[in-house]
Structure 1
């Protein structure tokens, strides 16, 4: 790993990595200095080529296309000759890197050639000075979090294209590149802000350029039609102004008289229409005419019938009708009739206004968050409520929620984004919450995963659904977004950490005993009891009325609570039978823990007479302190060493009581590996530098399961989640070489995925697991 942004560290890393070649520090410093200088020269050359292309466009009066794409799209085998196709249509091709440094409205002085009406930039005034404009740099009101260098260049290029005449943008996008679900929407909005045309071409292994050529020809035709319309409008305006200026003096009096006569005639007609309408209204009232929609029924009996019908049909509720009205006002779903514009209504300006969650909202607003893990988030709900907030976690995600997500989210975004946003928007559309007194909450990782942009995706969905007034709270440790009315105080963080740790313990105990329970449903009933107790202790500082009735203790400090949970599950009557086949579940965090996202994979495992093993959520939440040394050594981004050391010490203080409590069960419940051990295990197969998404932790969890006697693993991942494909499925080969007994299967979850196919693959894996388990038992018996 080499961090190109850190020049000094680059020298150290080169000396370290090329020690086998005896590279000296002096040689490395000379090479690095020359390389960075050449890099600047290269960037300058690219920008000069962009200016030359713009100058060519100006001198030859032709159009230009900024062909934007990822670095690999420059390969002719990948782009399938699209640049040559554009040139064959008589248009100039530029890259986004060649113009991204240019500012909209900047006077470029491209060539000696002057267009019609253009002033000579070298012309001097009476005092002998030339006028030079200041370089203005403006910040775009982007909806998304601008977290990637390539994305930043792409947005800047789109902003310049939108303001430069004769220049259009075509974006190349590869199938399955989920990050471009973020960029394509944002680039489209930037261009739509200036009524510019946006074209996206999906590039994959198919080499047929027919569809791409048709799109490009259509783009050229649209540009030419737009230019013709502009010229026609300008000519019409010029003609009208000339004719009116010639006849203004002679026709002024006549025109005024004509307007006066027309006004008198219109007044007479309006009075006649008013009298006619009054007569018809009176006649209709006498004859029992139709009642105006929304008004009261004519009799109390009919009003009762009307109310009953309205309540029975949720589609006719006030909230849905208000949503339709707001959506119409915001231009969502509008037809192009009655002279409305056919331009894309999703503009950058439309989403620019952010409504922060203010301090005044804390008292009256209900904060609504999506479901991610029922066991953990039930406790998190109590944590937020203990801070004085009105806070609700949505319990379930339905198929209807997913359909809503597909409607309001770019369908190339990941499955978790579609489900989470659909769940939140549906809660508003269905009238569960007052949109004028509701805020939505989402966690923001701040990492390399597209989950950092869920905040922007939710804001877009709210505006498109007709609820721009709803604030969105982004909860992150980095404080990326400003939420004045929501503060994560130390007390709140303390309770949140305890809630997640206890959630891990409850999940471990429940999944361990439920397949062996003597009385069906007794394990779930015990879990529900402890869920209630823990929620009460969180909200009432350790006190619980339910605990007093259940175990005779009304006050349960943290350590005591953990011990009582373990003792209670340990005492649950279980069948006297051998340990069943264990099946682990790892993967993307939401699909891993959310039953509605993974089609209840834990229930499927238990229905096949197996035991499910799911690693805890705290490991995912606390990876950063344990990889800070690696980040510092290889990337120079280790952060505050003392701060991370204190975090590691603090986490041990939270986790040690859990380990002591688990020991009370004498081996019934397994201990989790410490995080430093997981880091070490991940390093055996992959690199700790793989930190996008679940990253190296996913590989470490698979290894932990296999080495703890659970070689059967389901890797649940959203379709097209590239980080999980790399650290999950991409590591299967090496893991199997290290552990031949490993029985791993990856299951893709997606709005269009076949549940029957998922179920069949899981059953096939479990069948192989049972066969291997029987063979191992027979070998042991022999």
Structure 2
């Protein structure tokens, strides 16, 4: 029997194309859903307006795809990512089940993608994620200087097509792939331009999903900005590091071992990128050490101390303008993310932090005015 379509709502735009092969199986054929008009309004028909904005968008994407008639509800499934812990989105799979039932799609299967079992072989596929981090960084840091508009994006797509057709590389091969990618981006024709360096920190979905941040990176690129966003690898290592402090002894040991393994590959890839002339966050262990003056390292709820760590590290690299993005109604994000911005600004006087909330009821002008407030400010 042919594999059934597995609908995957937007989340990690720079990674899911590479993870598609890892998510495929004899039963499922992954289908990455696209953005479209009116998704939030469609989601709000079935979910309460006080739920987090990502949950509303996910529901809107899934219902829009099913309503299109392109997929047989009796043969398709929906992949729902769940972080677990304090994230309100952890209950999304139950809420979406109710929404699908009410919309007449009770036969659609829901499949959970969770990182509870993360280790070297299963759970989140870390090696493709690391390559995805490198590839996105190379594109974003080359794009402001490309001589031919769209060249960096086209090269990124070429590498995505090539890598997504391959098996997940072994660690040594992943590092070698990183070296090849860096060389190819360095070979693109570029011109000297004056650009503004802007970093984006904050909640995982909003940082990494065009749908969730209203195409923020494209907007900044059009404004001649060199954009820096922390990669999924750092997020995964943060998760493993924080969970090495929780739960049964065997589980803690598993997270420590997985973290050491992944951190070793990350250090090699960071070294390759820096040698090629690109800027990256420090390797995770160094990032954590340097975060101590900026946030309590025992604050591991939601994105916790990682937000402060990324902001401080990017500021040190010259990204003095920092956008702190959060989705509306992410309660842990607002308390443990947005709640630290004022103190973080006092500790980073050389930088300017601006908080931006994304919400179904917020107009585009409101959001862009806050982004423009940061871009137009002249820092001493």
TM-score between both structures, scaled by the size of structure 2: 0.91
- 1:520 matched to 2:149: yes
Separation in structure 1 between the aligned mates of residue 334 and residue 240 of structure 2, nearest angstrom? 25
Q: Deviations over 1:474-519 (max 9, x none)?
A: 122437xxxxxxxx9975658x211111111011001101011111
1:622 Cα shift? 2.5
Deviation at 1:671, TM superposition (A): 3.2
Contact 2:53 2:327 in 1 (8 A): yes
Partner of 2:185: 569
> Residue by residue, what CA displacement relative to the aligned partner does 1:231-259 show, whole Å, maximum 9, x if unpaired?
xxxxxxxxxxxxxxxxxxxxxxxxxxxxx
Q: Which has the higher strand share?
A: 2
Larger RCO of the pair (alpha carbons < 8 Å, separation 6+): 2
Q: Would you say the 8 A contact 2:120–2:261 is kept in 1?
A: no
The Cα shift of 1:707 comes to 1.9
Name structure 2 gaps, 5 residues minimum: none
Superposition map of 1:393-472 within 5 A: 393-472=31-110
Q: What's the counterpart of residue 340 of structure 2?
A: 731
Q: Is the 1:715–1:744 Cα contact (8 Å) retained in structure 2? A: yes
Residue deviations 1:703-758 (CA, integer Å, cap 9, x gap): 22112211211111112323222333322222222221221111111111110111
User: Helix, strand or coil for the counterpart of 1:371?
Assistant: coil
Verify: 1:509 aligned to 2:138, yes or no. yes
Displacement after TM superposition at 1:682 (Å): 3.9
Match of 1:678 among 284, 287, 306: 287
**In the alignment, is the contact (CA less than 8 A) between 2:86 and 2:332 conserved in 1?**
no
The residue aligned with 1:604 is 219
The aligned counterpart of 2:12 is 373
1:389, CA displacement in angstroms?
Answer: 4.4
In the alignment, is residue 383 of structure 1 matched against residue 36 of structure 2? no
Distance 2:347 2:249 in 1: 31
In structure 2, C-alpha distance between the alignment counterparts of 1:690 and 1:638, rounded to whole Å: 21
Please give the residue correspondences for 1:679-758 in structure 2 after superposition, counting only pairs within 5 Å: 679-758=288-367
Cα distance in 1, alignment partners of residues 372 and 154 from structure 2: 28
Equivalent residue, structure 2, for 1:500? 129
Q: CA deviation at 1:621?
A: 2.1
CA distance in 1, matches of 2:249, 2:89: 22
The SS at the match of 2:41 is: helix
SS at match of 1:537: coil
When Rg is computed on C-alpha atoms for both structures, the one with the higher figure is: 1
Give me the whole-angstrom Cα distance separating, in 2, the residues matched to 1:440 and 1:619.
Answer: 27
For 2:147 and 2:294, how far apart are their aligned partners in 1? 41
CA shift in 2, pair 1:364/1:573, >3 Å? closer
Q: Could you report, residue by residue, the CA deviation over 1:612-636 in whole angstroms, capped at 9, with x for unpaired residues?
A: 111101222232332356x36xxx7
2:175 and 2:265 in contact (8 A); partners too? no
- Distance (Å, rounded) in 2 between the aligned partners of 1:719 and 1:604: 21
The verdict on how the C-alpha distance between 1:596 and 1:477 changes in structure 2, with shifts beyond 3 A counting, is closer
Pair 1:462–1:607, CA change in 2 (3 A): same
Is the Cα–Cα contact under 8 Å of residues 628 and 639 in structure 1 kept in the other structure?
Answer: no
The 8 Å contact of residues 201 and 207 in structure 2, kept in 1 or not, is answered as: yes
- The 1:400/1:510 distance shift into structure 2, 3 A limit, reads same
1:657 aligns with 2:296: no
**Contact 2:120/2:258, CA 8 A, preserved across alignment:** no
Contact 1:626–1:679 under 8 Å retained in 2? no
SS at match of 2:289: helix
* Residues 1:617 and 2:232 are matched in the alignment: yes
| Contact 1:698 1:727 (8 Å CA) reproduced | no
- Residue 575 (structure 1) shift: 0.7
Q: 1:83 is matched with which residue?
A: none
In the alignment, is the contact (CA less than 8 A) between 2:321 and 2:351 conserved in 1? yes
Say if 1:699 and 1:727, in contact at 8 Å, map to a contact too.
no
Mapping of residues 121-136 of structure 1, within 5 Å: none
Match of 2:165, SS state, is: helix
C-alpha separation between the residues in 1 aligned to 2:349 and 2:173? 45
Distance 1:525 1:624, change over 3 A: closer
Q: Which structure shows the bigger proportion of residues in helix conformation?
A: 1
Deviation at 1:532, TM superposition (A): 0.8
Change (3 A) 1:687 1:522: same
RMSD of aligned residue pairs (Cα, Å): 2.5
Residue 461 of structure 1 and its aligned partner are, at CA, apart by 1.0
Residue number in structure 2 paired with 1:590:
205
Partner-residue secondary structure (3-state), 1:586: strand
Residue by residue, what CA displacement relative to the aligned partner does 1:24-68 show, whole Å, maximum 9, x if unpaired? Answer: xxxxxxxxxxxxxxxxxxxxxxxxxxxxxxxxxxxxxxxxxxxxx
Q: State the alpha-carbon separation in 2 of the partners of residues 754 and 638 from structure 1.
A: 48
Mapped partners of 2:209, 2:269: distance in 1: 24
Contact 2:326/2:338 (<8 A) preserved: no
Query: Does structure 1 conserve the Cα–Cα contact (< 8 Å) formed by 2:143 and 2:152?
Result: yes
Instruction: Give the direction of change, closer, same or farther, for the CA distance of 1:741–1:715 in structure 2 (3 Å limit).
Output: same
Shift of the 415–723 alpha-carbon distance from structure 1 to 2, 3 Å rule, reads same
